[in-house]
Amino acid sequence: MTRLANEVRLACQLVSHKVRFESGAPLPPHQLSVLFKLRRGSMTPGELAEEEQVTAPSMTKTLATLESQDLVARSGDPGDGRRRIISITPTGEAALRDAASVRDSFMEAKLATLSDEERATLAEAARILRRVLE
């Protein structure tokens, strides 16, 4: 069981790495990660830094870059004027759709090299992995 757990973990890590870093997505992985988190709902810069496990200055730089591209917007917190709330913009949503499309195309090209039987096996494995991890 330990060997299978290790093999599955390593395969998932490899897929994740290849899709994130080699797919040619239009934004760097760390920026996409922030946008994906904001898709769930607005957050403060501190909450985002904590979620991303980065320092506040690092998150400030990432948010400034995203804001300069109109991918996120800052607004005041109605309950505390000192706090800033970060939200994804419609342009940010479109960037996420574009990134997903590029990443899916990358995987489709990789899967096209497999036989029909291998693709069917992989589809079943994906269903099983989802069930195990949800």
Entry pTM = 0.82
Query: Total structural domains in the chain?
Result: 1
Q: What percent of the chain has pLDDT over 90?
A: 87
How do residues 51-66 score in pLDDT, each as one tens digit? 999 999 999 999 999 9
Range(s) of the domain holding residue 26? 1-133
The CATH number that applies at residue 28 is 1.10.10.10
**What single string gives the DSSP state of each residue in 1-61?**
-HHHHHHHHHHHHHHHHHHHHHS--SS-HHHHHHHHHHHT--B-HHHHHHHHT--HHHHHH
Instruction: Pick the more confident residue, 12 or 79.
Output: 12
- Which position has the token pair 């291998």? 118
